[in-house]
Amino acid sequence: MRAITSILILTFFSLSSQGQLDSASQSEKEWSPSYKIEAEFEANYGSTDLNNEFIDKLLFGGQITPELKDKVLKRTNNRNRFGVELNYEVKFTELTDTLFPSLPAYRYYISFGSYTNLSASYTKDLYKLAFYGNKQFENETAQIGKSNFTSYRFEKITFGLINQNESASFGISLIVGDQYSGFNFKQADLFTFTDGTDLSLEYDGKIRLSDPERRGFMAFSGAGIGIDFETLVYKKMFRLKVTNLGVAFWKRNTSFSHTQETKEFDGVEISNVFSTSQEEFLENANTLLPEMTDQGFVTLLPTIIELHKKTNPELQSQPIYGIRYKFFSNYLPQLYGGIQHQLSSKFVVRGDVTWGGYSGLRLVVGAFYHTKSIQAGIQSTNLSGMFFQNGNGNGFSAFGTFLF
């Protein structure tokens, strides 16, 4: 994947979002398009402690050697994060029909989007327990609580209104939930006795799982409603954008647990390992897990909030900066700052330094191309991570806007 992404990045550069495309050409005003189609795509992964070599093998397969585990362990802190994002959206806007006579300045749009996210927040003891086992914690307690794992995938169909000058928009979405898995461990203290055979677990946590049989595109394991809106704020100097503000209801064959308990595990008795069934092994392993019920549950959508400085199309060079945050996704506030430069009437390049999200400090570079009917571009969201094995992530985003 790194090789493919590298080719794309070396071929094109881009801006990260439509909010940063205010420098698009405003010439040839005599031409009035009737429709607009926009497409956006984003794929990236990152971590605060796992390096690219470790992440690649974790995601795409391969041997995680003891040397690699030890190398990552030196970078692991008391609080660590890892995440994967894969999002895309296509939007159609009618530019001539108001649809609502009482709102003559607004046009309607219809869009379809898909959002996938896997994220984790975990302790150093949990990393050591997962990749080294519990032998090292003999007569000690592994503190694996205050860890959170979330995996979700959903689609949305949106109907909305947008101002003619694109200064404000509002949309309401039908949410189609494909899959949700959530593990929130407020406390999970695992004590290993001296001989290594007995375990004691002090547990306080919540587990929520959607229907395991209904996976895939538009699976309808859950349903909900969401809101998107965008506007200019503070003397119209900044663009505020909120995506996926809403809830999802999961009720089909769900699993739920919210318990606080102490468990003792003193091993299992197996008379003949060759005649022991898979079900018996799973039953023994489940003795450490809390009891699950088929209760439905409600989740808040992973709301994305972005605030970007509005750029001036008349300036050849100008600063760019902003912030992005994703709720309920083990996400750090993402801050960036850099420079945008107009190379010609059709090309703009930019570069910035970014910190936060799922990884640490990184370099983002890009550019875009625009004419009166086309805007397009692609960017690297972690250029430093792409070319260095000790980098902490990888990814790119792309967009296209077509007027006709």
Helix (H, G, I), strand (E, B) or coil at 288: helix
Dihedrals phi, psi of 99, to nearest 5 degrees: 70, -40
Structure tokens at 96: 């001539």
Among positive and negative, which fits the CA dihedral 336, 337, 343, 346? positive
**237: phi then psi, degrees, rounded to nearest 5:** -90, -20
Scanning 135-178, the segments in alpha helix (DSSP H) are none
Q: Has residue 378 got a pLDDT over 60?
A: yes
CA-wise closest residue to 9 among 391, 386, 379: 379
pLDDT single digits (tens) 117-126: 999 999 999 9
pLDDT surpasses 70 at 395: yes
pTM, 2 dp: 0.84
Q: For 190, how many CA atoms within 13 A lie in the half-sphere containing its CB?
A: 24
Question: Chain centroid to CA 121: how far?
Answer: 13
Q: What is the 3-state secondary structure (H, E, C) of 290-340?
A: CCCECCCEEEECCCEEEEEECCCCCCCEEEEEEEEEECCCCCEEEEEEEEE
- Res 8 pLDDT > 50: no
Residue where the block lists tokens 């004691």: 200
Contact 161, 108 (CB under 8 A): yes
Q: Are the CB atoms for 80 and 123 separated by under 8 Å?
A: yes
Taking only the tens place, the pLDDT of each residue in 296-311 is 999 999 999 999 999 9
Quote the tokens at residue 229: 């809106």
- The per-residue DSSP string of 59-75 comes to HH-----HHHHHHHHTT
| % of the chain at pLDDT higher than 70 | 86
What integer pLDDT is reported at residue 402 of this predicted model? 97
272 by Cβ neighbours in 10 Å (0-12 / 13-18 / 19+) ranks as: exposed
**With the CA atoms of 129, 130, 135 and 137 taken in that order, what torsion angle do they form, in degrees rounded to the nearest 10?**
0
Question: What is the per-residue DSSP string for 350-364?
Answer: EEEEEEEETEEEEEE
Tell me: pLDDT of 229 over 90.
Answer: yes
Q: How does pLDDT run across 28-66, given as a tens digit for each residue?
A: 447 789 999 999 999 999 999 999 999 988 888 899 999
Burial class (CB in 10 A: 0-12, 13-18, 19+), 314: exposed
- Higher per-residue pLDDT: 182 or 391: 182
pLDDT in tens, 148-199: 999 999 999 999 999 999 999 999 999 999 999 999 999 999 898 876 667 8
Which pLDDT score, from 0 to 100, does residue 197 have? Answer: 63
Give Rg (Cα) of the chain.
Answer: 24
Backbone angles phi, psi at 229, to 5 degrees: -155, 155
Phi-psi region of 327 (alpha: psi -120 to 50; beta: other; left: phi over 0): beta
